[in-house]
Protein backbone atom coordinates (compact mmCIF):
# COMPACT_ATOMS: atom_id res chain seq x y z
CA UNK A 1 0.00 0.00 0.00
CA UNK A 2 1.46 3.35 -1.08
CA UNK A 3 1.15 6.70 0.65
CA UNK A 4 -1.51 7.72 -1.90
CA UNK A 5 -3.73 4.84 -0.75
CA UNK A 6 -3.26 5.89 2.87
CA UNK A 7 -4.19 9.47 2.05
CA UNK A 8 -7.34 8.38 0.18
CA UNK A 9 -8.46 6.46 3.28
CA UNK A 10 -8.51 9.56 5.46
CA UNK A 11 -10.01 12.07 3.01
CA UNK A 12 -13.60 11.11 3.89
CA UNK A 13 -13.18 11.29 7.67
CA UNK A 14 -15.52 13.98 9.06
CA UNK A 15 -13.94 16.56 11.37
CA UNK A 16 -15.64 19.12 13.60
CA UNK A 17 -14.81 22.68 12.50
CA UNK A 18 -15.78 25.65 14.68
CA UNK A 19 -15.36 29.37 14.16
CA UNK A 20 -15.40 31.27 17.44
CA UNK A 21 -16.44 34.90 17.73
CA UNK A 22 -15.44 35.19 21.38
CA UNK A 23 -15.90 33.87 24.90
CA UNK A 24 -17.06 35.04 28.26
CA UNK A 25 -17.82 33.63 31.70
CA UNK A 26 -21.21 34.14 33.28
CA UNK A 27 -22.84 33.18 36.55
CA UNK A 28 -25.69 30.66 36.53
CA UNK A 29 -27.93 33.44 37.87
CA UNK A 30 -27.12 35.59 34.82
CA UNK A 31 -27.81 32.74 32.38
CA UNK A 32 -31.21 31.83 33.84
CA UNK A 33 -32.27 35.45 33.40
CA UNK A 34 -31.63 35.36 29.63
CA UNK A 35 -34.53 36.43 27.50
CA UNK A 36 -35.14 37.43 23.93
CA UNK A 37 -32.96 40.45 23.19
CA UNK A 38 -30.36 39.68 25.87
CA UNK A 39 -26.91 40.93 24.82
CA UNK A 40 -23.82 39.04 25.97
CA UNK A 41 -20.52 40.90 25.93
CA UNK A 42 -17.63 38.83 24.58
CA UNK A 43 -13.97 39.22 25.50
CA UNK A 44 -13.00 40.10 21.95
CA UNK A 45 -12.91 43.51 20.31
CA UNK A 46 -14.97 44.26 17.21
CA UNK A 47 -12.82 43.77 14.13
CA UNK A 48 -10.43 41.31 15.77
CA UNK A 49 -9.79 38.11 13.79
CA UNK A 50 -12.04 35.15 14.56
CA UNK A 51 -10.49 31.81 15.57
CA UNK A 52 -11.05 28.58 13.65
CA UNK A 53 -10.72 25.27 15.49
CA UNK A 54 -10.56 21.79 13.96
CA UNK A 55 -11.28 19.04 16.48
CA UNK A 56 -10.72 21.56 19.29
CA UNK A 57 -7.31 22.77 18.07
CA UNK A 58 -6.70 26.31 16.81
CA UNK A 59 -5.61 26.05 13.18
CA UNK A 60 -6.44 29.41 11.58
CA UNK A 61 -7.69 32.96 12.05
CA UNK A 62 -9.86 34.95 9.74
CA UNK A 63 -12.79 37.25 9.22
CA UNK A 64 -16.53 36.99 8.90
CA UNK A 65 -17.88 37.52 5.37
CA UNK A 66 -21.36 37.50 3.87
CA UNK A 67 -21.94 35.30 0.83
CA UNK A 68 -25.39 35.93 -0.67
CA UNK A 69 -27.44 35.80 2.54
CA UNK A 70 -25.19 33.36 4.43
CA UNK A 71 -22.25 33.98 6.71
CA UNK A 72 -18.86 32.65 5.72
CA UNK A 73 -15.33 32.63 7.06
CA UNK A 74 -12.32 33.92 5.11
CA UNK A 75 -9.01 32.52 6.36
CA UNK A 76 -6.38 35.22 6.73
CA UNK A 77 -3.78 33.30 8.75
CA UNK A 78 -2.86 29.64 9.11
CA UNK A 79 -1.40 28.80 12.52
CA UNK A 80 2.04 27.26 12.07
CA UNK A 81 2.68 23.78 13.43
CA UNK A 82 5.30 25.31 15.75
CA UNK A 83 2.75 27.76 17.20
CA UNK A 84 0.20 24.97 17.65
CA UNK A 85 2.76 22.89 19.58
CA UNK A 86 3.72 25.92 21.68
CA UNK A 87 0.04 26.53 22.56
CA UNK A 88 -0.10 23.00 23.96
CA UNK A 89 2.68 23.93 26.40
CA UNK A 90 5.15 21.43 24.97
In tens, the pLDDT along 45-67 reads 888 999 999 998 899 999 999 99
CB-count exposure of residue 52 (10 Å: 0-12, 13-18, 19+): buried
pTM: 0.74
Q: What is the pLDDT of residue 35?
A: 96
Query: Does residue 90 surpass a pLDDT of 80?
Result: no
DSSP state of 58: E
Q: Dump pLDDT digits (tens) for 26-51.
A: 999 999 999 999 999 998 888 899 99
Supply the range of the domain harboring residue 25: 16-87
CB 64 within 8 A of CB 44: no
Count the residues in the chain: 90
Percentage of residues in the chain with pLDDT exceeding 70? 93
Residue 7: inside a domain: no
Residue 65: inside a domain: yes
- CATH number for the domain including 62? 2.30.330.10
As for how many domains the chain has, the answer is 1
Amino acid sequence: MGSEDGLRRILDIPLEVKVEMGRTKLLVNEIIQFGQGTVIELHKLAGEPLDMYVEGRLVARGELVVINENFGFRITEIITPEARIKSLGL
